[in-house]
Every structure is written in structure tokens, then in C-alpha cells.
Amino acid sequence: MHIVAIGGSDAGISAALRARELDPSADVTVVVADRYPNFSICGIPYYFTGDVHPWQTLAHRTSADLEATGMSLRLDTFATRIEVAGRRLEVRDPDGSESSIDYDELIVGTGALPSSAGIAGLDELGPEDGVHVLHSMGDTFALERDLDERQPKSAIIIGAGYVGLEMAEAFIARGMDVTQLQRGPEVLSTLDPELGGLIHDELVRHGVDVVTGSRVETVTRNPNGLTVTGIHHGEPFERTTDLVLAVVGVKPNTDLLERAGATLGAAGAVVVDESMRTGLPNVWSAGDGVVTHHRLLGVTYLPLGTTSHKQGRVAGENALGGSARFAGSLGTQVVKVFDLVAARTGVREHEAIAAGFTPASTTAAADDHKAYYPGAKPITIRVTGDAGTGRLLGAQLVGAYGTEIAKRVDTFAVALHNEMTIDAFSELDLSYTPPLGSPWDAVQVATQAWARSQPVRA
């Protein structure tokens, strides 16, 4: 049995590890387009803040660690074509020559690519011009060189999602003037605006110039630096800066599978079933290049590292003949922004309506632990439930770093996974001691507030 996995990030490596774990006799080869397998791309912003050093520590496992499991690594090797009928993968080797690898089962984890969101100039300008994306270790080194060599004093970040917010903190830590441009009405559009506004205020408090409602149209290079132009609340705007970082989302990297005959679905991602089958014989796929099976929304596209790990594990097991199934995503996410943490899981009202629910939401604030114990801080929690059945549908949380936002959102995620009602959530036996919580935890204060807001159900 020879299994070939394409991709050295979450999905590909998870698949290879699972296959070797289940069958140590399996021959597993991982084809990696660069020389950095199993690096934490999510950790890159913290390399730039200075919290993580040296860069090698971003590796979940070193190449030696991976090879010690029995897998073979083909680094700096780019997959160019899948010959489905012949079970053969054509690749471009590090020296530029072409070769092929025969396989019994193929797992494709090619992930996603940075999106330019239709902004003119982003595809033409690059690191040598001071225009950057941040999607790989190569991007990391290019940005680091630019920061060290030119020592830019100002930066414009296009996009205010997770990476954009984390990089705003990194640039501020380096003493740069930072402008953050966001197309939507508020930063961190995965939250409702009232909670996103709390993150907005935190950015401003730390010196970030936040400009929401701004649609960037062009980025150009000129003798004075870089110029970003667009529309802000219906009026033209123009800003000049030393460096531009574009973090406006990703698009699934489907070229290899699409040319092999795979079907595309939501957001142009490759269609797979819950077993990670592509529909092509002996070809599986997982990660940011495939559709997401969501427990509330059905089939959608929601690229997340945690999802990629789980999907890759399923693909690796099933390539050996197993019957594993991806249990589904809830879109659980968390981000630290300076001294605040924001998290969400499940769906918001507009998503719930699209999925056929009748949602209602309430927002409550409660201290992270008993107020009489020093250091208590409030957590703002927005709970969404189905008005007809009382079923929990989603939660959003914002609170100070140290108030255990990540673990509290995980409590909601477990409840959502098990389709609990909000009333049942309020009855959970959660831990309590005054320095860490309250007899009714903050999450239950929020669910009780939701219940009080609803008509009494017979």
C-alpha cells in the first residue's frame, strides 16, 4: 500500500500521520511544495510581535520528527498533474526536472491561496515593492527582510480579520504607524457589529487608525512610497504608506483536482463527502481546498486549521480502507487582539435564518469570576437560539485576555455539537471557585438572560 499525500500543512501531514499510526507497514510519501512541512502558519503574527523566536519554533514537528514516524518527505516538490486512471502523480522536482510518483491512494491537501479581492495592483506588486501577503513561511521571510532592510515607518493593513488584527498588534509592537482598512461596517466581521466595535475600540486604544466602510480599489507604487486608493462611505480616499499588507481572505486552491476532473461546489471548493472522497477513484482531499460540512449550515466553505486537521485525519484513515467520517464544523474561532480576546461558535442570526431557523439573540455582560475576588473583569456574551424550540444556535464572546474566553466558547461548542437547548445549557454542572468563576458561570448568566427574553413556552 503506497499512500501519497500532497501538502505539508495541516491536512496533508495529519493524513500521513494517521495512516502511519494505523498501519506502520504502509508506505506514505508526502509531497511538499516548499521546504517547511508542518509549520504553524497561525503562529506567524507572534513571530513578528517578538513573542515567538526563533522562526524554527513555529514547526509543529521538524522534518526529522516526521520522518521518524516512517513517512517519506519530498520537499521543494510541486505536484503538477494527477493521472487518475494510471494512479500516477506528476511532479516538478527541486532541480526543475519532471518525474512521477505511483500511488495506490492519493490524498490532496493543497489548501487555499491568498485572495486579491479584485484590488488592482496586488497581483502585480510584490515584496520588492513593499506589498505583502502572509500565507506561508516564504511570505514570512520576505516580510521580515523588508522590515529589516527598509525599516518602514508606516503600514496599511487591508483587511481586519484574524490575521489582519494580529498583524496590527505586531506592527504596533515594532513602533510603526498602522492604518487598518476594513470593507465592512466593523472590524472582525465574523462577529456582530456591536461586539466587533469592542475590538475596534481596543485597536484605537493602542494607536491603530481604523477605517471601516472602506473599499480598496488600487494599490500603486510611486517615488514617495505606496498609495492605496478606494471609496470610503461613498467618497474617494487616498492614503500613502511605506508598506502594504493585504489580508483579505483566501480562495480554495483547486487547480490540481479540477484539472483531474473533480467537482467544485461552495465558494469554488472541491466537493467531498463526509469521508473526504472526491468522487475520483482512489483520490481523497481535505483542508482549505474542499467544502466544509457544517453541523448547522450544511455544506459550505469555512477554511479553518482545526477543521483541516480533523479532515486530514479522516482522509488518512479512509485511504487505508477505514470508514471514518468528518463529524462537521461549527466554525469555532478565537483571536487575541492586544489585551482583548474575541471568540465565536455556531451561527449568527442572518446565518440561522438562511438555514431555516427562527433565531433570537440577546447580549449580556458578566464577570469572569466573583467580583469580591481581586481582578474580576466583564465578559460580553451574545447568545443566539431558536425562538421556537429553544435550541442553542451560536455564541459570541469578547473579554479581557486572561478571562478564559477560549475555554468558555468551547463550552458553547460542545453544547452545539450535541444539539442542546439553551435551558439545558443553563443546567450544566460547571466548575466554581471565587478566583476563577461564579456559582452561575458567565456563560450561564448569558443563557439565562436569553431565556428571560423569550415568551414562556408551553
Task: Tell me the per-residue pLDDT of 198-220, one tens digit each, with 9 for 90 and over.
Answer: 999 999 999 999 999 999 999 99
- Co-location of 230 and 262 in the same domain: no
Q: How far apart are CA 101 and CA 32, in angstroms?
A: 13
H/E stretch holding 5: strand 2-6
Across residues 40-57, what is the average pLDDT?
95
* Structural domain includes residue 420: yes
* Structural domain includes residue 92: yes
* Structural domain includes residue 122: no
Pairing of strands 2-6, 112-114: unpaired
Across residues 316-343, what is the average pLDDT?
98
Residue 456 is predicted with a pLDDT of 66
- With a pLDDT cut of 70, the percent of the chain lying above it is 99
* Structural domain includes residue 301: yes
| Residue at which a domain ends, from 319, 354, 371 | 319
Q: Give me the domain span that covers residue 395.
A: 339-453
Q: Is the pLDDT of residue 457 over 60?
A: no
- Co-location of 90 and 161 in the same domain: no
- Co-location of 295 and 346 in the same domain: no
Residue 455 is predicted with a pLDDT of 82
42 is catalytic: yes
CB 345 within 8 Å of CB 163: no
Give the CATH number of the domain where residue 94 resides: 3.50.50.60
- Co-location of 136 and 152 in the same domain: yes
* Structural domain includes residue 47: no
* Structural domain includes residue 181: yes
Q: From the candidates 1, 22, 42, 271, give the one annotated as an active-site residue.
A: 42
CB 243 within 8 Å of CB 153: no
Tally of domains within the chain? 3
- Co-location of 308 and 274 in the same domain: yes
What is the Rg, in whole angstroms, of the alpha carbon atoms belonging to the chain?
Answer: 23
Reported confidence tier of residue 224, pLDDT bands at 50, 70, 90: confident
- Co-location of 209 and 147 in the same domain: yes
- Co-location of 162 and 212 in the same domain: yes
Q: How far apart are CA 458 and CA 238, in angstroms?
A: 58
- Co-location of 198 and 237 in the same domain: yes
- Co-location of 293 and 364 in the same domain: no
